Structure 1
């Protein structure tokens, strides 16, 4: 399970036919991208912004250019609303206040929804996905800042404070036992992708490629071909290892290279809640799914479970598939 990671770390890369205009270089650059759209009577617009610890990019295409700006504004409002509810990168978010105070009255529905999903996934995965691993992140990040690894006693103490079954969730309040902390970083970017796609659909946008830290695509590329998504090679992550084509729906990658605490990537930001250490079998897992929330959460759980256990978990969800990369 993942704890809070420093901002601006990217886990995936886009291939040319994917949505962001900067990624259109493989098709001749931004001018060519727009030219393809114009030839089909489409206007396009891309907007980027920093949220949830990463740079987000939304690319839309539509026959009515006037429809694009309101859709983009609404989509980024949706992202900010998720951030205000469920981000650990904002000290004033509802989730940050819950971790600080141990109780949150009248919780925001945008916190309740991903938290309830997280707890359901924790049960389905036998605890491999656990949103209460925040004490492990705090321990490992603090030790790394000192150039150390956590000692055994400190690790045991942190693990003792990890247990999703001890979280009390209700419409009136969320309560945590003393010393416990929640993180939704293992799925909140996927949740944001779902909110963005729903917002765009409500504004009549059918052709879109979004990057909220996880990816989503609907409709087609402005040149009329299906969208494609390039997946990073964990060694090195700037190289594309595989292309998903056509790409529609949502995709999420969890990898050991996003935030590492050791040069060999043996220790990283994804934790096995049972041991407090990083799982050793896989370098990355990419999950495609009908929702961003499902893709994001399953990719994290599968990193902990390994290929056999992760594959079995993912097979239990309709419309999901996984690509596993063993540890190099």
Structure 2
């Protein structure tokens, strides 16, 4: 696969004291020292998840509780992967795509799919979990240095449409030729599940990165968390800082995985055309849940700024940042 197909991580965590102060005080050691002054221990654990690196940071007075919370957090991530990761051929979603139906689907899968179908209805199909067949079509063409032929694209588009999915708590069924992806919201949903697991262990201060972000409580020095959003065209430069940052944030953009060096063709597809939307470079959404933030950021890339703002307004507690193509 060509190098421009590699995913790019482009968001930066900033503690409330700022990078310069943290560096001057010794980075991680400073973080622990600041927490210790408040009578808190800190723990961070990282691991591979969803094809990237997930990292969970927690703080609290009880060190064993922190370790147990981190273990529970990663267990939640593994449960979400087992339900809907397309990187796992044994996931429930992978089996559904192969077999066309799935009895007794896991609760994580039905929760994500129910939201995806509702968002598809609200956006009149701009967000559509049935775009999965476009992925191999574009990947294979890109590997040849080409774009899909018009006839091949039309054939795949005939298999796309969220109404081709039939969901009940007991069973999911797909119409022939249909395949699903929940990549447009799975990392945000995982952030929700992790945060719930941490709260169940009594954790008050946490920052989680599952590919999308969540935060509660405060930074080690007692001031609010801040989240830096990198410029999609200059990934070492901050385009904005969310301060204070609590709740959840998700970013979708044309720089995360591309099928062409100019980023005109990328991993977000307009279900109506089978091609990538052309107006926006990135969208960041903050919301009360990671599921909503992640799904809306994906949808807004397709909807564009004007229509995207209208849809986001239907979800309470959300804010949106749009970045146009350079």
Matched, 1:285 2:283: yes
Q: How far apart in 2 are the matches of 1:274 and 1:121?
A: 15
SS at match of 1:279: coil
Aligned residues between the structures: 321
Give matches, 1:260-275, under 5 Å.
260-275=258-273
**1:264, distance to aligned residue in structure 2 (A):** 1.0
**1:52 matches 2:28:** no
Could you state the TM-score of these two structures normalised by the residue count of structure 1?
0.94
| Aligned 8 A contact 1:17 1:26 in 2 | no
Distance 2:6 2:221 in 1: 30
Instruction: Give 1:27 shift.
Output: 6.2
DSSP 3-state at the match of 2:89? coil
Contact 2:205 2:217 in 1 (8 A): yes
1:231 aligns with 2:265: no
| Residue 81 (structure 2) pairs with residue 93 (structure 1) | no
Structure 1 vs Structure 2 CA RMSD:
1.8
Q: How does 1:170-319 map to 2 (within 5 A)?
A: 170-319=168-317
Partner of 2:28: 30
Q: Is the Cα–Cα contact under 8 Å of residues 8 and 257 in structure 2 kept in the other structure?
A: no
Deviation at 1:140, TM superposition (A): 0.5
- Partners of 1:280 and 1:80 lie apart in 2 by 35
Closer/same/farther in 2, CA of residues 236 and 202 from structure 1, 3 Å limit: same
d(CA) in 2 for partners of 1:53, 1:168: 28
What secondary structure, in the 3-state scheme, does the structure 2 residue paired with 1:253 have? Answer: strand
- The one-character-per-residue Cα deviations of 1:10-58 (angstroms, maximum 9, x if unpaired) are 4432233179x9x954764111111111111110000001111210000
Greater alpha carbon shift after TM alignment, 96-105 vs 26-35? 26-35
Describe the shift of the 1:51–1:289 C-alpha distance in structure 2 as closer, same or farther (beyond 3 A).
Answer: same
- Unaligned stretches of 5+ in structure 1? 1-5
8 A Cα contact 1:233 1:241, kept in partner: yes
How big is each residue's C-alpha offset from its partner over 1:64-94, in whole Å with a ceiling of 9 and x where there is no partner? 1121111011111111001000110101000
Contact kept in structure 2, 1:49 and 1:55, CA below 8 Å: yes
Say if 1:254 and 1:286, in contact at 8 Å, map to a contact too: yes
Counterpart position of 1:64: 62
